[in-house]
Chain A
Amino acid sequence: MLEIKNLTVGVPDDSGIGFEAMLDDISLSVDAGQSVGVVGEAGSGKSLLVHAIGGLLRAPVVPFGGEVLFEGRDMISMSADDRRLILGEELSLVLPGGRVRLNPLEKVGRQIMRVQRDHHDELSKVEAHQRAVQLLDRVGIPDPELRAEAYPHELSGGMAQRTVVAMALANSPRFLVADEPTTGIDVTIQRQILEDFASLIREDNVGLLIVTRDLGIVAHFCDRVAVVSEGRIVENAEVREFFKEQKHPVSRELMRATVLEREKAAEWSAAAASD
C-alpha cells in the first residue's frame, strides 16, 4: 500500500554536484491492514522520513532519489496539488507536538470540521460538526460537545494531542502515518488511541506507519519494526523475531537503553509473540 523505494534525502554539498545524505537508500513497505513501527535514536531521521512522505521537505533539504509510492502514485514527484488531494483524505499524517499543531485562533471543533469540508464540499456544517464531536469523543476527550467550542490554549496538552489525532482521522483515511502520536498523553488514553488505531487496522484494513521511541508500543501494536540509525534502515524485522533477537548492534543498544528490567523484556517478548 505504501512502498518506499530507495528514498534518499539530503542537502547539496558545497561542490554542487554531490550531496550529504540525511536519509540514505530507505526502503520500506507497509501493506493494507499492517502496522509498521519505525524506531531509532534522536536525530536518526525518523521524522525526516515522515516529512518526506508528506511533502514537507524544504530547501535546502531535498529528495535526491527514490520513490514513496502510495497505491502506486509517487508522493515525491507528484505536484503539490495532486498531493493535497491525497493528504488528509486517503493518507493522513499525525505530526508530533500537540498544541503547536493547532491554529491558535480557531476553535478546535471548527478545525476538525474544516478538514472534512475541504475534502468534501457536499458535507453540511451540521454534519461536519456532529462528526467532529464524534471524533473528539472517539479519541477520548470528555465533554466533546463542550470541547469542540474550545480554543487550543484552553485544552490540556494531552487533549490537544488527541485533537490532532482526531483531525487526522476525520476523513477516514486508508493509510495513517503517525509521528509520535501518543507522546505527552497519559498511558490510559494512550492505550485507547492505540487500540483505536489497532481496530482501524483490523476492521477497516488501514495501513499504519508509526514512528515512536516507545518499544512497548511496537511490541504491542506493530507487525513489523524498522530500526533507523544515521539515516539508514539497519534492521527491518517481524516484531516477534525482533524481540526474540536483535541482529544489529544499534537495535540491541536501543533495547538495552529502554528495557531496564528483565521482566519487562520478557513481557514485551511475550506480547510480541502473542500478537
Chain B
Amino acid sequence: MTTTTDVATPPTGPAAFFAALLRMLFRKPGRGTAFVWSGVGLILILTAIGPEIGPALSGVGCGCGWGSEEIDRGHALEGPSASHFFGTDRTGFDIFSRVLSSPRINLVIALVATALSVVIGLPLGLLAGYVGGRTRAATALSEVIMRCMDVLQSFPLFVFAIVLVAVIGQSAEIVIIALTIVNLPVFARLARAEMLTVREQPYADAARILGHGNFRLIFRHLAPNSIASSVATVPMVIGFVILFTASLSFVGAGVKPPQAELGGMIRVGANNMVTGEWWPSVFPGIALGLFVLIFAFAAQDIAVRMRSVKRAEGLMSADTTSA
C-alpha cells in the first residue's frame, strides 16, 4: 500500500524561511496576499480580545488605562497625547481604546448578518437554480423564490432599518436583521446563476447514469461546484455590512451609544470637526476605511485564487477570461 515518491528536501534554516516569506509576500497573482490576510487576522484577534486589551494598551504611555466605555472626567475633547493616544471625545471616552474595541460590535454584526444571509440565501438560490424550468410546478417554485428576492432587494435599506428601529427599538439585532434581508438575495442570485450552468455540465448526467438520486446529485456534485462565486463574495459582503452598520449608527438607526461602534463614534465626533477637534471622528473613520478595504482585498484575493484554480482545471470559458 505504500508509495514512495522522491521529493527534493527543501532547504531549511532562517535564510530559507525569510526567502520563502518574501516570495509569499510578493508573489503574483495576489501580491500582498500575506498583508491582506494578516489584516483579516488582526481584525479577528481584536474582535476576540479587543475590549479586554484596550485598557492595557491605552495605558502604556501613562500607567493609567481606559476601558471603551470609561469616562476620563475633566479630560473631555483632548487631542492625542501620551495618556490618550487618539485623544478623547466630548464625553471623555478614550478614542484609542474604543477603536480597539469596535470590532467586537462591528465585525460580530457583520459576521452574523453575512452568515445568516449565506445560510438562508445560498440554499434558496441552489434550489431555485436546480428546479427552475424542469416542470411547471418546479418553475413556479423557482419563480416565487426569485421574485421574493426581488422584493427583498428592492427595500431601501435605510428606510427599512429606520422603520424597524421605530417599531421594535434600537439594537444590534435589528441591524443584523435589516442587513441579512438586504444581503440574502445577493447569495441567492449568485448560487442560482451558478447552479443553472453547473446542472447542465456533463458530469451531472454522468452522475445520474451511475445511479445517483436528486438529493445526492445536488449535495455531492452540483452544490459544491455552484458556490465558488458566493464564497468569493463573502468577504466583500462583510466589508459592505461593516460600512452599512456604521452608516446606520451614523444616522442614529443602528447600535445604541455608548457602545464602541465606529459609525456612532464618527457621528459624535463630527460635531466637533468644525471647531478643529478632528480626532474623535478621523481615527474611527480611518479604522472603518481600513476594515472595509481589508475585506475588499481579501475578496479580491479569493477571486484571483479561484480563477487560477479554474484555469488549471481548463474549465475557464472564453467569456470570463477578460474579467
Which residues of A are at the interface with B, using a C-beta cutoff of 8 A? Answer: 54-56, 59, 80-81, 84-89, 92-93, 95, 97, 99-106, 114-115, 118-119, 143, 145-146, 152-153, 164, 167-168
Could you list 23 A-B pairs, sorted by A, with CB under 8 Å? A55-B209, A80-B213, A84-B211, A84-B212, A86-B211, A87-B208, A88-B211, A99-B314, A101-B202, A101-B205, A101-B206, A102-B206, A103-B203, A103-B224, A104-B315, A106-B220, A115-B210, A118-B210, A145-B3, A153-B314, A164-B206, A167-B206, A167-B210
Given A101-B203, A153-B313, also A54-B211 (CB < 8 A): no
List B residues 240-266 near A (Cβ within 8 Å): none
Q: Please give, as numbers and ranges, the residues of chain B lying within 8 Å of A97 by CB-CB distance.
A: 202
Q: Please give, as numbers and ranges, the residues of chain B lying within 8 Å of A118 by CB-CB distance.
A: 210-212, 216
Q: B8 an interface residue at 8 Å Cβ cutoff?
A: no
Verify B209–A54 contact, CB threshold 8 A. yes
Given A95-B202, A114-B220, A145-B3, also A104-B313 (CB < 8 A): yes
Q: Please give, as numbers and ranges, the residues of chain A lying within 8 Å of B224 by CB-CB distance.
A: 103, 105-106
Verify B211–A93 contact, CB threshold 8 A. no
Partner of B206, one of A95, A106, A146, A153: A95
Chain A: minimal CB distance from B231 (Å): 12
CA distance A145 to B4 in the complex (A): 11
Q: Size class of B's contact patch?
A: 20 to 34
Which chain A residue has the least Cβ–Cβ distance from B205?
A56
Which chain A residue has the least Cβ–Cβ distance from B2?
A145
Chain B: minimal CB distance from A15 (Å): 21
Chain A: minimal CB distance from B84 (Å): 52
Which chain A residue has the least Cβ–Cβ distance from B134?
A59
Chain A: minimal CB distance from B271 (Å): 54
Q: B1 an interface residue at 8 Å Cβ cutoff?
A: yes
List B residues 210-237 near A (Cβ within 8 Å): 210-213, 216, 220-221, 224-225
> Other CB < 8 Å A-B pairs besides A87-B208, A115-B210, A153-B314, 13 of them?
A54-B208, A55-B209, A87-B209, A88-B211, A100-B203, A103-B220, A104-B315, A106-B224, A118-B210, A143-B3, A152-B313, A167-B206, A168-B210
Given A56-B205, A95-B202, A143-B3, also A103-B225 (CB < 8 A): yes
Q: B171 an interface residue at 8 Å Cβ cutoff?
A: no
CA distance A105 to B313 in the complex (A): 10
Verify A95–B205 contact, CB threshold 8 A. yes
Verify B212–A104 contact, CB threshold 8 A. no
Which chain B residue has the least Cβ–Cβ distance from A59?
B134
Q: Please give, as numbers and ranges, the residues of chain A lying within 8 Å of B220 by CB-CB distance.
A: 103, 106, 114
CA distance A68 to B207 in the complex (A): 21
Chain B: minimal CB distance from A271 (Å): 31
Q: B201 an interface residue at 8 Å Cβ cutoff?
A: yes
CA distance A163 to B216 in the complex (A): 20
Q: B159 an interface residue at 8 Å Cβ cutoff?
A: no
Chain B: minimal CB distance from A166 (Å): 11
Q: Please give, as numbers and ranges, the residues of chain A lying within 8 Å of B210 by CB-CB distance.
A: 87-88, 92, 115, 118, 167-168
Partner of B213, one of A81, A99, A145, A153: A81
Verify B201–A100 contact, CB threshold 8 A. yes
Q: Please give, as numbers and ranges, the residues of chain B lying within 8 Å of A85 by CB-CB distance.
A: 211
Q: Please give, as numbers and ranges, the residues of chain B lying within 8 Å of A106 by CB-CB distance.
A: 220, 224
CA distance A54 to B209 in the complex (A): 6
Q: Please give, as numbers and ranges, the residues of chain B lying within 8 Å of A153 by CB-CB distance.
A: 312-315
CA distance A81 to B212 in the complex (A): 9
CA distance A59 to B132 in the complex (A): 13
